[in-house]
Amino acid sequence: MPDDHPTVRAAFQGLSPAEVGTILTGTTTARLAAGEPLFLQGDPADRFFLLKEGWLKVTQVTADGQKLIVRIVHPGEFFGFAPALQRDLYPGTCEAIVDSEALVWPRRRWQAVLGAAPSVTLSIVQAIGRKLDEAHDRLRELSTEEAARRVARLVLRLRAKAGEDALETDEGIELPYPLTRQDIADMSGNTLHTVSRIMAAWESQGVLGRGRRKVVIADARALQDIAGDED
């Protein structure tokens, strides 16, 4: 395999060497330091990606100037789907949360990658579907749910998505990447003041642990009770 990174091997597991060779033709690797952008909102959508290691956040600035974090990208995920949506510009900014590495395809390879193997097409379609589902959930919660429930549901979703990358600590289950309270506010559609008040209360009640720039779930059952019907 031209790229023997374990995440890349897992992404294309079961494909023949010829199929993998076709898929990886023309790829490069982008290495990002924490806080470094991979692309900016409004940049030409001339590439698409697979995250090899690290974590990224995708943000959008709305017409009224509000900044929203719309997605956390985990290792093994395809992202940068502008070609699939027939967009010429990226609708958001993608930035490294920690030092990260991504596999990069030029846009002209989009059709060739989709046609190389049905399993790759399925993975990309499923990733787009998850992104749309998350957007629908977010819109519903913003219009119907109170602030604490939105934050609780967000933290539980992040925990579920982190899977085995989440860390067992003395304080509880720690998300594997740093998130500030401003990040939580940007993801949940709340103000920083509201999120700080909610999370401080949860820390004093033992629902969350006191991690430095990390979200630590100390009492998952209590958080689920706050979230209501979230699985």
pLDDT at 101: 97
Residue 141 confidence (pLDDT): 59
| Burial of 196 from C-beta contacts in 10 A (0-12 / 13-18 / 19+) | middle
Tokens 């002209």 -> residue? 108
β pairing state of 78-79 and 67-73: unpaired
Walk along the chain (231 residues) and give the pLDDT tens digit of each residue.
456 789 988 888 888 888 888 899 999 999 999 999 999 999 999 999 999 999 999 999 888 888 888 889 999 998 998 877 788 999 999 999 999 999 999 999 988 888 887 777 777 777 777 776 676 666 655 555 789 999 999 999 999 999 999 999 988 999 999 999 999 999 888 899 999 999 999 999 999 998 778 899 999 999 999 998 644
pTM: predicted TM-score of the whole model, two decimal places? 0.85
Q: Cβ(214)–Cβ(174) under 8 Å? A: yes
pLDDT of residue 216: 95
Structure confidence at residue 182 (pLDDT): 94
The angle, 0 to 180 degrees and rounded to 10, between the axes of the packed helices 192-205 and 147-162 is 70
108 vs 112: CA distance, rounded Å: 8
Residue 131: other Cβ atoms inside 10 A = 16
79 vs 73: CA distance, rounded Å: 8
For residue 228, the model assigns a pLDDT of 87
Residue whose pair of structure tokens reads 């004093």 in the numeric block: 204
Q: Specify the 3-state DSSP secondary structure of 89.
A: strand
Q: Which CB contacts under 8 angstroms, 24+ apart, belong to 16-22?
A: 19/116, 19/117, 22/112, 22/116
Predicted local confidence at residue 142, as pLDDT:
58
Identify the CA nearest to 52 among candidates 35, 34, 77, 70: 77
Contact yes or no for 197/213 (Cβ under 8 A):
no
Please give the Cα distance from 56 to 61 (Å, whole number): 17
